[in-house]
Structure 1
Amino acid sequence: MANIRLIRRRIRSIQSTAKITRAMEMIAASKMRRAQQNVLAGRPYAEKIRQVLAHLAAQPGAAVHPLLERREVSNIQVIHITPDRGLCGGLNTNMNRSTASFILEQVAPTVLITVGKKGRDYMTRYGRQVQAEFTAIGDQPSLMDTLPISRIVIDDYSNGSVDAVYLAYPRFVNTMIQRPVLDQLLPVQPATIERPGEIEYIYEPSSKAVLAELLPRFVEMEVYHAVLESIASEQSARMVAMRNATENANEMVQDLTLAYNKARQEMITKELLDITGGAEALA
């Protein structure tokens, strides 16, 4: 009897867990749609601004902007973007390991700007130098929410505190795939012009002024877009993880229900045998 009560209690507990994971899956699916739309909407802008920067940098007599300047790498800065919460499969682990491996491969000292609690906790636990941390950005951040990150990066590179800046974030490929990527943010690398001889644009007031105004905006947009990619990856990974958890819980309930029915049938059979044996003894 005690075994039957224990099985029944476990079935109820797992069913409650399955309801929670199912609800979390539905919430993540709803947030993922919005995040996915934001990511896909921002990609064409990022590609076009790279092309414009390439044309500006190729203009005759264009001055070298501080954000385009290349120098010997003595200090490296990495913007490490991860979610604030867990329950999203191996997303956090893969992202943290990818960035940690990159840091170990570098000869120059590396400092980190962490965005998200999971990345901050991991890097702090393993003794990495964290220059700044940003948490609780939310599921629908605006460009203003990420401007402080961009400002730190631009100022540090402009005054020579760091010589290269990298952006580490999980890139949203599709619902099932979120790929850790690490792109160089500074110095800015303009896109390659397919036909260099056909530079027909006229910039007002001058190409130098437009370049000086556009480069900081480009860095700000890249950081903001990386945060959006991370949010879309987080929600899609959480949706898949909660779906798998719900399916596993339902399988466990089926197995426990079968074990419960078997134990109950054995108990009933045993009671019938006891009754039959007692009746024969009295006869």
Structure 2
Amino acid sequence: MSGLQEIRLKINSVRNIQKIAKAMEMISVAKIHKAQKRMLISKPYAETVLKVINHIASGNLEYKHPYFKHRNVHKSVGYWVISSDRGLAGGLNANLFRALLHDFNKWNTMGIVIQLAVIGAKAASFLHGIKCTKVVSCISGIGDTPKMSELIGSVKVMLELYEKNNIDRLYIVYNAFVNTLTQIPKIIQILPIVSKHNINHISAKYWDYLYEPDSKVLLNNLLQRYIESQVYQSVVENVASEHSARMMAMKTASDNGEIIVNDLKVLYNKVRQTKITEELTEIISGASVIQ
């Protein structure tokens, strides 16, 4: 890169990329607040549903729902894998897939088949063709405002497999939003349900409910809503993580572009000074020859 014209073109090219990166950063900043709001609104609902489920399950029920029954993993496990549809979000998806493959290796050594419900184009592209895995559902293009209606199909497919004993355990994999700077890949078990509350303490109160309709219908509906809310919560949290990661990635790209431009300007001045020196030397040499 010795020519001045070539260096100028390079500087202009980096400047143009900087403008694009800055624009994408500002777009992500605008979208983060809406994504965080959706995430915070939906979270209490999922927590409250689980609390109600635990209270009902701790009563003197004749009906024991299969979602509460412990299962040993014999043949298959299932995952909802949630990723972004678009890239340019730093290491967000790469870190998620790294954690997922680590979990896959554990099951592969045991000869367990892995069945996947994929949400997000990046996950679909990455998981295509991985050994010992089977994609049973795939959703992409849900955008920045996911709707529960778009996710119900994926939830229904996995629950049917679980109820037919084709899957022994169900997990959700997504990027948990900690703050604007931190997003953590997370793998949580959904089924069978592991209570986060002290059931013994609840049971010690010897309470029970009058059910209308019966406890079986009530638990079936509640557990369906709970699992749907968990999947939805994971999706909206992943969207918030995506925008935060993209904002930081674009900011870093813009800052690095400025460093490159400064280095190119120094190089440009050095080449320019060299050319001026060469021209002066030629002029002086020509003058001395004439004399």
TM value normalised by structure 2 = 0.91
Counterpart residue number, 1:168:
173
1:199-278 to 2 correspondence within 5 Å? 202-205=209-212, 206-278=214-286
Give the Cα–Cα distance (whole angstroms) in 1 for the partners of residues 102 and 258 of structure 2.
38
1:34-53 to 2 correspondence within 5 Å? 34-53=34-53
Structure 2's unaligned 5+ residue stretches are none
Instruction: Supply the AA of the counterpart residue of 1:88.
Output: A
Counterpart residue number, 1:146:
151
SS in 1 for 2:81: strand
Counterpart residue number, 1:132:
137
Instruction: Supply the AA of the counterpart residue of 1:231.
Output: V
Note closer, same or farther for the CA distance 1:51–1:272 as it changes in structure 2 (3 Å cut).
same
Give the Cα–Cα distance (whole angstroms) in 1 for the partners of residues 144 and 221 of structure 2.
29
Q: What is the identity percentage for the equivalent residue pairs of Structure 1 and Structure 2?
A: 34
CA RMSD of aligned residues (A): 1.9
Give the Cα–Cα distance (whole angstroms) in 2 for the partners of residues 203 and 148 of structure 1.
32
Deviations 1:223-260 (A, max 9, x none): 11111111111111111111100000011001101111
- Tell me if 1:23 matches 2:23: yes
TM value normalised by structure 1 = 0.93
1:22-171 to 2 correspondence within 5 Å? 22-74=22-74, 75-106=76-107, 107=110, 108-127=112-131, 128-171=133-176
Given that 2:85 and 2:122 are in contact with CA atoms closer than 8 Å, whether structure 1 keeps it comes out as yes
Deviations 1:126-151 (A, max 9, x none): 33322221111111111111111111
Structure 1's unaligned 5+ residue stretches are none
Equivalent residue for 2:196, pick from 187, 191, 197: 191
Give the Cα–Cα distance (whole angstroms) in 2 for the partners of residues 199 and 234 of structure 1.
46
Note closer, same or farther for the CA distance 1:237–1:275 as it changes in structure 2 (3 Å cut).
same
Q: CA deviation at 1:201?
A: 6.8
